[in-house]
Amino acid sequence: MRITAVKAVYPKYNHVAPSWRTHFWQIVVRIESDSGVVGYGYGGGGVAAVEVVNRHLGELLVGKSIDDVTDIADAWDTLYAASTPYGRRGIGVMALSGMDLALWDLLGKAEGVPVHELIGERTKGKVAAYATGADSEWYAEMGFTAHKFPHRFDGDEADYQTAVDRASRARVIFGPDARIMIDTYMSWDAPVTIEMSRRLAEFNIYWFEDVLTPDELEGQAALRSRVNPVLIAGGEHEFTHHGFREVAMTGALDLWQPDITWCGGITAGLRILDVARGVGAPVAPHRGGEVWGLHLIVASDCVDLAEVLLGSRGVPRDELWLGEPRAEDGRIEPSDDPGFGVVVNEAML
């Protein structure tokens, strides 16, 4: 089939988390073909990424034939190369991610198969899900058995105690064997991370996430042995297999977390997995409980672990994708419907 139209839209969100997200949150990419089939993808980068798709990359895709996954990889290479002067990292690749995912959705729908089947043999059934957020009690009530809570270090001695209190509470709520993780969102530094590993030792934390910025690869590499057995995790702000090759060369991370809607889509995800395999690094995609990562997880050697973000009890959320799989008893799997198996909520476009 030939691509006939490409269009990116910034959805009408009512509920987006603050900070950079209010300006640069997720976009929808719609790709039409002469077969009549339409594919939808999810990218990052907000209205800036919408401009990248609608004013540059989209027209490069129109007219191309997409008949198998090799064609998608070729299209990815073309778009990546064309955006090199302003792309490679950040918004250019976030835009490309949405286009790549729309192509996988399109091909899956055209062939009547789920994306995970296009990727390869199924390696997992239901994936162990972990709930990310601050409402630990609610997640436990919903049946989650693994949990990651956020923690910010603002330079106060009291910030150590809040980490201890939250870890202690999570341990009580989820029990002694549950995986408990902490996302610091780049707010810790090396001394804080080492001190935290001492103070939190009794809570058996599985990983510390994003303790430094993604530019501090050597710094993170040096922390790995200092906080062992806690893992140094990160990668949601890294892009493509080129970026993760640097992560591999520096040995920066124990566990890699590419975001499939930011790092270059499924195509980049597969290439990142190749790089990871070369150094024996486990990969657990950021927001892997959303269909974009979940299809990759169940058809690859990704870790059997999918992140689910639920917000907090009673707090309203936008429902952009209808038919998303939900975790039951702490496990989640994609549907076998064609493509990614979700339908965009047109009212938000």
Using the contact rule CB under 5 A, the part of the chain among 40-48, 75-83, 95-103, 181-189 near Mg ion is: 181-189
Q: Closest separation between CB of residue 150 and Mg ion, Å?
A: 8
Using the rule CB under 5 A, give the single segment among 43-51, 72-80, 176-184, 247-255 that binds Mg ion: 176-184
The answer to whether 116 is a known catalytic residue is no
Q: How far is the CB of 287 from Mg ion (least distance, A)?
A: 9
Instruction: State which residue, 37 or 281, has the beta carbon closest to Mg ion.
Output: 281
Residue from 151, 237, 286, 295 carrying the catalytic annotation: 286
Give the Cα separation of 256 and 276 in Å (integer): 8
Question: Could you check whether the bond before residue 229 is cis, i.e. omega within 30 degrees of 0?
Answer: yes
Binding to Mg ion (CB under 5 A) within 238-297 occurs at none
Q: Are 40 and 345 a contacting pair, CB within 8 Å?
A: no
- State the sign of the Cα–Cα–Cα–Cα dihedral 50, 273, 238, 343: positive
- 71/189 with CB nearer Mg ion: 189
Q: Closest distance between Mg ion and the C-beta of residue 7, in Å?
A: 30
Count of residues binding Mg ion (CB under 5 A)?
Answer: 1
Identity of residue 174: F
Nearest CA among 333, 340, 344 for reference residue 124? 333
Q: Which is nearer to Mg ion, 183 or 254 (CB)?
A: 183
d(CA 94, CA 238): 11
- Asked if 183 touches Mg ion (CB under 5 A), the answer is yes
Smallest distance, Mg ion to C-beta of residue 20, A: 13
Rounded to a whole number of angstroms, the minimum distance from the CB of residue 21 to Mg ion is: 13
DSSP 8-state secondary structure symbol assigned to residue 321: E
Span interacting with Mg ion, options 6-14, 169-177, 182-190, 191-199, rule CB under 5 A? 182-190
Q: Closest residue to Mg ion, Cβ-based?
A: 183
- Token reading at 94: 């976030």
Q: Are 25 and 18 in contact (CB under 8 A)?
A: no
Which residue, 65 or 213, is less far from Mg ion as judged by CB?
A: 213
**Cβ distance to Mg ion smaller for residue 183 or 290:** 183
DSSP 176-214: TTSEEEEE-TT---HHHHHHHHHHTGGG--SEEE--S-T
Residue 127: DSSP 8-state: E
Q: How far is CA 55 from the centre of its chain?
A: 26
Question: Which residues between 22 and 81 bind Mg ion (CB under 5 A)?
Answer: none
Q: Any idea which residues carry the catalytic annotation?
A: 286
Residues lying near Mg ion in the complex (CB under 5 A) are found at 183
